[in-house]
Amino acid sequence: MERVTLGKTGITVNKNGFGALPIQRISTEDAVKLARKAYDAGITFFDTARFYTDSEEKLGEAFEGMREKVYIATKTAAANADEFWEQLGISLHNLRTDYIDIYQFHNPAFCPKPGDGTGLYEAMLEAKAQGKIRHIGITNHRLAVADEAIESGLYETLQFPFCYLATDKDIAIVENCKKNNLGFIAMKGLSGGLITNSAAAYAFMAQNFPKYVSSS
């Protein structure tokens, strides 16, 4: 299976990642089995979020004792610095780890930056300095916010919807990430269930786009 490097993070993983939103719908036992089966098949990138109910806890149980063998990305929907630190603490506890490989702002309505009054980006920098996170990322569904994040130079990864329904503007996002050495993480490869032909969806993803990881 093809391996890719997520831009300036230097993280090199299987092009297929494990999006852990759906495991909140199954038992802990089944979720642990599924995550470990994915690992046994060569997948080492696992993406979750603080607000995917118990998804973090299930990944934490799945990889306890083998944390260094996988890369874990999670997300915060914090609106201010106090919420940021609270959510980060919960995520670290749930994931049974003392660090997160990629910590991402979860679909904010704006692009967090130093001096914007929220304290969010400053908190990210402090968490990174403390070793609690290793790389700073952002997820979004808005072209304008995604473009601003790329051009800002503040982020190491961008997670954005990408599938065979992608427009030229969506594809330009991927190209711009490559230009700026930003790791691109594709989400919603089946467009949230709108696409039912998984073979066609995968064939599109396998085309010669700039290298990225799919977390679908």
Q: Which residues are marked as active site?
A: 52
Q: Round to whole Å and give the CA distance between 160 and 148.
A: 13
Q: Round to whole Å and give the CA distance between 170 and 182.
A: 15
DSSP H or E run through 184: strand 183-187
Q: Round to whole Å and give the CA distance between 111 and 124.
A: 13
The structure tokens listed for 88 are 């980060």
Q: Give burial (CB, 10 Å; 0-12/13-18/19+) of 110.
A: middle
Q: Round to whole Å and give the CA distance between 85 and 7.
A: 26
